Amino acid sequence: MYIFDQGRFLDESEVSVSVRNKGLNYGLGCFEGIRAFWNESQKQLFVFRLFDHYKRFYESGNSLNLRIPYSSMDLFRWTIHLLKINSIREDVYIRPICINGENTLHPDLSSSFNRVFIYCTDISYISKPALKVSVSSWTRIGSNMIPPQTKPTGGYLNSALASTEAKLNGFDEAIFLTKDGNVSEGATENIFIVKNKQLITPPISDDILAGITRDTVMRLVNHELKLPIFEKSLSRTELYSADEVFFTGTAIGIKPIIQIDRRVIGKGLEGPITKEIRSRYDHIVRGNNMNYIGYCTPVY
């Protein structure tokens, strides 16, 4: 596999980072998680919302004071080139990451030497069709701790603590509450509930990442399903009494949640609205819905 490293496309064996690297030592970096989807009938690979992912990448860098040393147009072009030279002809996950490139000890973000890598990877491990989850004992990071609307490498210790706790307790994933006790999101997913044919998802002010899948789902629910959808703070009890609950995310797609803290949600199966959204989302990301074709960048 080729990897993008500082303007060059190198074989994976040639890419290295020093153990002294400040980004590695303190988690000083930011990243994105992008996906490309293979369309078998068109023999085409489409990258989904590439521009929006790079927009969020720069917003992360800016909020963290971490200067990304290339323009978004360059990263856009290099991402397409990377997929081509790796001859990707299947669904793939793309990870751009910018880290502090210095090898000195003091933990600060204002370095003038930052490194950018982009690599592709398989994510077929997320195969469970429906999840049993738990509310975490860990609180979601808040705006005065680590900016929650960014994707900082170090911030994912918060997600990893919650996810690990959930898995050690026999659940598939964790749900975070905010410091005020509102529902925030999953460890690496946004959350939606369906109640009486209305959809509700927590607002940005409840310390969520402004997910790109979340945004796509809000648009498709509005325009295609014509169901009411609201951004509103949710209590833990509203989760338990929802008709349907699902996660959204680039890696996970649309994923039904059938149990929370051992309470059965709805009928304990994927609900009809979740199923409809999941199937329409799959059409959209593969470039099969012309209303959303602007979101899909062709590679070949």
Q: Residue 167 CB, nearest distance to ligand PMP (Å)?
A: 17
182 or 188, CB closer to ligand PMP? 188
Shortest distance, position 19 Cβ to ligand PMP, whole Å: 26
Establish if 248 lies at the interface with ligand PMP (CB under 6 A). Answer: yes
Query: Would you list the DSSP string of 177-209?
Result: E-TTS-EEEESSSEEEEEETTEEEE--GGGT--
- Minimum Å gap between C-beta 135 and ligand PMP is 16
229 lies in the binding site for ligand PMP (CB under 6 A): no
Least distance CB 71 / ligand PMP (angstroms) = 21
Distances (CA, A) of 96 to 29, 117, 142: 11, 6, 24
Q: How far apart are CA 101 and CA 119, in angstroms?
A: 17
The answer to whether 152 contacts ligand PMP (rule: CB under 6 A) is no
The verdict on 136 binding ligand PMP (CB under 6 A) reads no
Min CB(4)–ligand PMP separation in Å: 20
Q: Is 280 in the site for ligand PMP (CB under 6 A)?
A: no
Residue partners of 115: CB distance under 8 A and separation at least 6:
5, 6, 17, 23, 98, 99, 101
With binding defined as CB under 6 A, does residue 188 bind ligand PMP? yes
The stretches of the chain forming alpha helices (DSSP H) are 22-26, 50-64, 72-85, 156-168, 212-220, 236-240, 272-285
Decide if 118 contacts 77 (C-beta within 8 A): no
Which of 50, 199, 209, 239 touches ligand PMP (CB under 6 A)?
209
Given 190, 201, 274, 297, the residue binding ligand PMP (CB under 6 A): 190
Distance CA 252, CA 131 (A): 11
Q: Considering the complex, state which of residue 153 and residue 248 has its C-beta at the smaller distance from ligand PMP.
A: 248
- 99 in contact with ligand PMP (CB under 6 A): no
3-state helix, strand, coil in the chain (%, to 5): 30, 30, 40
Q: What is the closest distance, in whole angstroms, from the C-beta atom of residue 51 to ligand PMP in the complex?
A: 13
Among candidate residues 244, 192, 242, 245, the one with its CA nearest the CA of residue 216: 192
Q: Which is nearer to ligand PMP, 209 or 284 (CB)?
A: 209
Could you list the residues that contact ligand PMP (CB under 6 A)? Answer: 33, 159, 185, 188-190, 209, 211-214, 248-250
